[in-house]
Amino acid sequence: MRRREFLEAAAALALPLRLERPAVAGRIGRPELDLLRRRTARLRRLDDVLGGGDTAPVYAAEVEATKHLLRHSSYAADIGRELHVLLAEQMQQAGWAAFDRGDHRRARRFYDDSRDAAKTAGARDLVGNALAYSAYQQTVTTKQGTTDADASYEVAREAASPRVSALLLSRKAWAHAVAGDAGQADAALGMAREALERRDDRPDPDWVFWVDAAEIDIMAGRCWTELARPLRAVPVLERVLAGFDDTCARDKSLYLTWLAVSYVQAHEAEQAAATLRRAHELAGGVTSSRPAARIAAAARKLERYRGVPEVAEALDVVRA
């Protein structure tokens, strides 16, 4: 209950936010652009603790505000380009929130529009990220996505910073794992780890602030679960999730469902049941459609062990 109260309070603070007009009426310069960037970075971090049901209206409002500035303000050509970069970032965040709340049609529109904005700005890394988002959505809606995932890295590879490369490659790995291609998934994961270790003078954009070695390990564990390789999936998922903050409840709940499925694949029914119950507890009050869907899918896989008392109890709790 305390966690839910915190989330509701955070959402109440976030939802009324509106983008203030630049201090210099009608003209956007570097100071105003920097202010907008800092604001976008702060709002982006809401996704760490809130689900798409809470954040989608916030991010969509930011998109509309930036569109308004582009249409009704004046600015130099270089500022206009960077405003389109900002718009592409905001559209991708809005698309992610729509996807997280289960609004796939709106998510797809945001991703397509973000790709157009990124192309206008010449931001090839964001063009690649738009394709990666699209590919990720396809792995959920159609169990496909390898074409866009492959293209995402190829489009961006020359412009991508190390973390951007790692992000795109990890999503490429996921798309190939969902498609059942272990070789391609493993190769992409290896390249993602190499990218993180690459020395590069270019700064990473803020939209990959969360990408690190643990994130790549989580994706690896998910890939090996999807490929029914529990001996590879379980150790990495156990290790990373042991230090994963409960504050990031949506993501931890989701990741625990993959660990639960890996336990089922390894015929460790009691462990799977305990892990699924923990995922269920964390998902309570999270305004995201994805944890519930994943928990239900994991529960179906666990059903064959209902004769085990711990499993029966967990399934009853989850399905209540």
Digit-coded pLDDT (tens) for 254-288: 999 999 999 999 999 999 999 999 999 999 989 99
Residue 223 lies in a domain: yes
Mean pLDDT of the chain: 93
Q: Could you tell me if 296 and 198 lie in one domain?
A: no
Asked if the structure places residue 1 within a domain, the reply is yes
Residue 41 has pLDDT above 60, yes or no: yes
At 1, the pLDDT band (50, 70, 90 cuts) reads very low
Instruction: Among 90, 111, 132, identify where a domain stops.
Output: 111
- Claim to verify: residue 204 and residue 225 sit in the same structural domain: no
Torsion of the alpha carbons at 83, 88, 93 and 96, rounded to the nearest 10: 170
Taking the alpha carbons at both ends of the chain, their separation in whole angstroms is 18
- The residue from 211, 244, 267 where one domain ends is 211
Residues 219 and 319 in one domain: yes
272 and 294 assigned to the same domain: yes
Would residue 185 count as lying in a domain?
yes
- 142 with 131, same domain: the answer is yes
Number of Cβ within 10 Å of residue 204's Cβ equals: 18
Residue 226 CB neighbours (<10 A): 21
Q: Is residue 116 part of a domain?
A: no
For the stretch 90-110, pLDDT in tens is: 999 999 999 999 999 999 999
Q: What is the pLDDT of residues 211-223, one digit of tens each?
A: 999 999 999 999 9
What confidence tier does 202 reach under pLDDT thresholds 50, 70, 90? confident
Residues 171 and 242 in one domain: no
Q: Are residues 30 and 105 in the same domain?
A: yes
Residue 89 lies in a domain: yes
Last residue of a domain, one of 179, 211, 243: 211
In this structure, are 57 and 31 located in the same domain?
A: yes
Of 155 and 203, the structure prediction assigns the larger pLDDT to 155
Assign residue 243 the CATH number of its domain. 1.25.40
Confidence of residue 13 (pLDDT cuts 50, 70, 90): very low
Is 117 inside a domain boundary? Answer: no
Q: Considering its fold, how many domains does the chain have in total?
A: 3
Q: Whole domain around residue 183: which residue ranges? A: 123-211
Mean pLDDT within 121-148: 97
